[in-house]
Structure 1
Amino acid sequence: MTTLPETIYAIQHLAFEDLGAWEDVLYSLGYRVRYFEAGIDDLTKALQYEGLTIILGGPIGVYESDDYPFLKQEIDLLKVRLEKNLPTLGICLGAQLIAHALGARVYAGHAKEIGWSKLDIQNMLKNPLSALTEIKVLHWHGDTFELPKSAELLASSEIYSNQAFRVGSNILALQFHAEVASDNLEKWLIGHTCELRNANIDIPTLRADNRKYATHLEQASSQVLKNFIDQLTIAHSISTP
């Protein structure tokens, strides 16, 4: 396994959208987790960190920096981070931020994609998402992105063709939620009630689907995280924070 500092940094944009089931996976691999709250904490340390930084989801858009000025600093720091090829994983908004920082267009999509469905996983060497083949994952987004020029497409869905990409071995962007924990989704249903009702999403069905599919996703997605960490290439010695 790649030698990383023992702390994984995670940037949150919404309190209940955390690392979910992946937090226990990281603990089992011997890592600890430190969270940074976007809009509250200075993200400089998290985005200049030479270990693994995970950028989590949230309901705002990358193009809303006039309303959420902290996004400007986050994007500027992320651009430098990606230029240095530092280990970075983005989920949902985190993936959109990575795409934007790499020069791709991020924009409001033609439809809300909220619910459980399978991905079309690209058949390629060392695709870190291979464990998700035939596994239903949780989608929860309205924005989408164009594929950055430097990126390799890893997965698509019926609604949006760009669901995941990587740049080399150190940068991974996931539009969908592979990290969601089976016992944590109720927080999402409460916190996103306005979005769900505006999109005419049936909440009892979403809850029932969580009971059907989330445990299978937890089992498969743990391998995705392990694959990504195993494939990281660290060019130089990194000190523990």
Structure 2
Amino acid sequence: ANPIKEIGWGEVQVSNNDIARNWFGDIQSFQAFHWHGETFTLPQGAIHLLSSTYCTNQAFAIGKHLALQCHPEMTAAMIASWCIEGIDELEASKDGLAVQSVDSIQQQIEAKLPRLNKVAHRLYSKWISGLRA
């Protein structure tokens, strides 16, 4: 388990290495969507890609393979559904340092999602181009 559960929006920092630059381009940080209480250690040969204040390992790459802890794939409908389905977890974790209320999660979603979707588009485009290689 990760010491601090992350649920809601939180900034992630892109690692300063060539592999991270290949995946994320000029992006240095972005607001990601989180819903996890777990973490992982980097497998042998993995290159660290993303971290957050409360969870050091948010993403890694091994060769052309990409692993993500945070969720760049989110849509407004997905977030609404997760908040409904996960309301018990939100209530049980509401005093957590990095757990947001449904209202906080929904705040400024119209501004946050397009930026997150741009990150997702870049990642998916890079990943798909790797399938062709």
Classify the secondary structure of the residue corresponding to 1:148. coil
**Residue 185 (structure 1) aligned with residue 79 (structure 2):** yes
Structure 1 residues 109-128: aligned runs within 5 Å: 109-127=2-20, 128=23
Shift of 1:132: 4.7
**Aligned-residue CA RMSD in angstroms?**
1.9
- Which one of 135, 138, 157 corresponds to residue 33 of structure 2? 138
- Which one of 150, 169, 172 corresponds to residue 45 of structure 2? 150
1:227 match = 126
Q: Which whole-Å CA distance do the structure 1 matches of 2:27 and 2:81 have between them?
A: 24
- Which one of 86, 95, 117 corresponds to residue 218 of structure 1? 117
* Structure (1 or 2) with the greater helix fraction: 2
TM-score, L = length of structure 1 = 0.48
Q: Which whole-Å CA distance do the structure 1 matches of 2:57 and 2:106 have between them?
A: 26
1:196 match = 90
Shift of 1:212: 3.3
Shift of 1:110: 0.8
1:219 aligned partner, one-letter code: K
Runs of 4+ in 1 over 4 A off after TM superposition: none
Cα deviation, 1:178-224, whole Å, max 9, x if unaligned, reads 10013431111101111111110411111114333112111232111
* Unmatched runs of 5 consecutive residues or more in structure 2: 95-99
Shift of 1:118: 1.9
Between the two proteins, the alignment pairs up a number of residues equal to: 126
Is the alpha carbon distance of 1:233 and 1:219 closer, same or farther for their aligned partners in structure 2, counting shifts above 3 Å? closer
Q: Which whole-Å CA distance do the structure 2 matches of 1:228 and 1:121 have between them?
A: 17
Structure 1 residues 1-241: aligned runs within 5 Å: 108-127=1-20, 128-130=23-25, 132-169=27-64, 171-200=65-94, 201-232=100-131, 234=133
* Larger RCO: 1 or 2 (CA < 8 Å, sep 6+): 2
Shift of 1:168: 0.7
2:4 aligned partner, one-letter code: A
Does the 8 A contact of 1:131 with 1:220 survive in 2? Answer: no
Q: Which whole-Å CA distance do the structure 1 matches of 2:72 and 2:26 have between them?
A: 11
Classify the secondary structure of the residue corresponding to 2:35. strand
Does the 8 A contact of 1:131 with 1:221 survive in 2? Answer: no
Q: Once structures 1 and 2 are overlaid, which stretch shifts more, 222-231 or 204-213?
A: 204-213
